[in-house]
């Protein structure tokens, strides 16, 4: 039973040695002299204008999430558009067209709701 698991054990040992080797190599080869300029947040030589961990409003994240939501939902249109012609020939054309119109209406309702709630304003 042990010889069947020997390759797995060797692979785990090899992976652990590789990880430790990379850490040691980065520690040994990655020595860089530090200065006050290099320790500034942007390494551009200028003093930072704001605190490094300035709090941001939730609106930034809401807009980012809404963008991802609408972007991913519109990606669902591509597969339907790719097979639309062959589905029309099979008699499913009107059904698929209606489903896509319903999908876009729901997407538009979500967009209007977010706009009415003020999620897309930067005030």
**Does residue 121 fall inside a structural domain?**
no
Question: 119 with 63: CB under 8 angstroms?
Answer: yes
* Range with the poorest average pLDDT among 12-16, 24-28, 48-52, 119-123: 48-52
19 and 62 housed in the same domain:
no
Asked if 28 and 75 sit in the same domain, the reply is no
* 89 shares its domain with 111: yes
pLDDT tens digits, residue range 22-33?
999 998 888 777
Residues 62 and 112 placed together within one structural domain of the fold: yes
- If asked whether residues 111 and 62 sit together in one domain, one would say yes
Structural domain harbouring 106? 58-116
In the chain, how many domains are there? 2
Mean pLDDT value across residues 41-70:
72
| Of 51, 70, 61, 60, residue with least CA distance to 123 | 60
Q: Per the domain annotation, does 7 fall within a domain? A: yes
Do the Cβ atoms of 40 and 47 come closer than 8 Å? yes
Q: Write out the DSSP string of 90-104.
A: TT-HHHHHHHHHHHH
Q: Residues 47, 64: one domain?
A: no
**HSE-CB of 18 using CA atoms within 13 angstroms:** 6
């Amino acid at each position: 039973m042990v010889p069947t698991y020997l390759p797995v054990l060797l692979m785990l040992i090899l992976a652990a040695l590789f990880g430790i080797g990379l850490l040691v190599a980065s520690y040994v080869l990655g020595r860089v002299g530090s200065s006050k300029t290099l320790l500034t947040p942007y390494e551009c030589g200028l003093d930072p204008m704001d605190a490094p961990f300035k709090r941001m409003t939730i609106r930034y994240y809401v807009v980012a999430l809404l963008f991802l939501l609408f972007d991913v939902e519109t990606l669902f249109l591509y597969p339907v558009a790719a097979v639309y012609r062959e589905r029309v020939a099979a008699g499913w054309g009107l059904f698929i067209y209606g489903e896509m119109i319903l999908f876009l209406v729901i997407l538009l309702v979500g967009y209007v709701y977010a706009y009415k709630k003020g999620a897309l304003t930067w005030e």
